[in-house]
Amino acid sequence: MSANQDAARKHLKTLTDNASLDVIEERLRPKIHRSAERVPGASLTDPSVIDKRWALLPHASHGKDAIADPVTLSQHASFAANIENLIGTVKIPVGLAGPLRVNGTSAQGDFYVPLATTEAALVASYHRGACVITVVGGCSTMILNEGVSRAPAYAFHSLVEAGRFVAWCLASTDAIREAAERTTRHGRFKDMRITIEGNHVYLLLEFTTGDAAGQNMVTLATQAVCDFIAAECQIKPSYFFVEGNLSGDKKASSQSFQSVRGKKVTAEVRLPRKVVERLLHSTPEKMADYWRMSALGGVMSGTIGVQGHYANGLAALFIACGQDAACVSEAAVGVTRFEVSSEGELYAAVTLPNLIVGTVGGGTKLPSQHACLDVLGLAGAGHARAFAEVCAALALAGELSIIAAITAGHFSGAHEKRARGRKSHQENSPPA
């Protein structure tokens, strides 16, 4: 994260062109005076409380009608468990990609996939990939593994104490399981892995979470484990924390890439040469050549996994369907592979080990998000595995489309046409 001396000098000159270092220092000092009024109401969502929050924002009053619109205000109670200090909702355009045919261990059928995004060309690209997959009979998908982890961390006086603590935990695994599972009807204790670093001990607790994404579920279960250990274990730590940053929560990590966080899913499809040429305007050889070059590029840049743009489709799908959007940081990790078969077909596969998704709980019960899950036919209990397979199939569709566009020389032109070009056309068109 260092800067070389020339860059540092240039940056310093930029900072001091309009102000001296003394002036800059004064601007950066803490300002101890009475602050503006605090936002009132916390989790209250009544329109009268929302009005009080907007009263703090006179400079933004022109935006109130767009954010605190009548539909949002009429549904205010449905947001109470999902947000604090509510002032309204932000409307993101939702487009459909598909049909996307999925032949999975859990997902079966043709899906129209709702994608919420402000990025022109994104839906069009995933739509094209989805339709190509469907033309050849669909992609095969399979859940490979499941598990959501939390990692409490303990500090002891010595390595000897740390070792005795680990021995106690290993002897008490059944009791730890019981303590965890008392907190949930749907979660199940799956495994406990031990990491010792000097006099520190990390317990990586792994759970299955049913149809919920499960972060809150495993946090509560882990807290119960910590409480049980505190009450029953005679080897007392100097201190401990319910999460020691070893679980990989909301960040790309080598650990989860090699194992699982959420649901690990793979998807594959075979595209005949004629389909690649006619619908993707490329060839299997060009697409495989690009994949090999991009794989090396990813290795040299230090990426975790090798893939083109999982985050584009997953972010749009997560936002539309009420998933935790921050989990895209770990969900968009995985491996794409393209090969030319002996028959001259394009074989394409994706594997995503970190799909933290669910169809119950969290944001899935909000009105618009529940409606988007309904569009997929995957709202409510019993559909989380199928939803994860649709996520993987969508990622595969996106990889096919973007690599085809790059190898056909259409990538830049598509963005020009669908973003700048369309905007320019609309700006120059007479009003309807």
Tokens of 331: 């969900």
CA angle 365, 353, 334 (to 5 degrees): 115
Residue 13 CB partners (closer than 8 Å, separation 6+): none
The answer to whether residues 317 and 391 touch, using CB atoms and an 8 Å cutoff, is yes
Q: Is the pLDDT of residue 429 over 60?
A: no
Give the percent of the chain with pLDDT over 70.
95
pLDDT tens digits, one per residue of 11-44? 989 988 988 989 999 999 999 989 899 999 889 9
d(CA 247, CA 213) in angstroms, rounded, equals 15
Pairing type for strands 346-355 and 334-340 reads: antiparallel
What does the domain layout of the chain look like in residue ranges?
36-91, 94-143+265-422, 152-241
Active-site residue, selected from the candidate residues 119, 178, 289, 339: 119
Of 104-108, 327-331, 357-361, 408-412, the one with minimum mean pLDDT is 408-412
* CATH architecture of the domain formed by 152-241: 2-Layer Sandwich (3.30)
Query: Annotated catalytic residue: which of 211, 324, 345, 389?
Result: 324
Alpha carbon 161 to chain centroid, angstroms: 38
User: Which residue among 186, 200, 410, 415 is the active-site one?
Assistant: 415
Token pair 């070009």 is found at 421
pLDDT at position 430 is: 42
* 119 a catalytic residue: yes
What local confidence, expressed as pLDDT, does residue 422 receive?
58
94-143+265-422 fold? 3.90.770
Q: Give pLDDT tens digits for 291-348.
A: 999 999 999 999 999 999 999 999 999 999 999 999 999 999 999 999 999 999 999 9
Q: Residue 212: is its pLDDT beyond 90?
A: yes
Per-residue pLDDT averaged across 385-410, rounded?
Answer: 96
* Residue 236 pLDDT exceeds 90: yes
Instruction: Give the dihedral sign, CA 23/28/29/34.
Output: positive
Q: How confident is the model over 267-300, as pLDDT tens digits?
A: 999 999 999 999 999 999 999 999 999 999 999 9
**Longest pairwise C-alpha distance within the chain:** 79
Structure-token pair, residue 169: 């935990």
User: 146 catalytic, yes or no?
Assistant: no
Topology agreement, domain 94-143+265-422 and domain 152-241:
no
Active site residue 22: no
Distances (CA, A) of 38 to 17, 35, 59, 162, 295: 36, 8, 17, 45, 50
The pLDDT of residue 323 is 98
In which element (H, E) is residue 165 found? helix 159-171
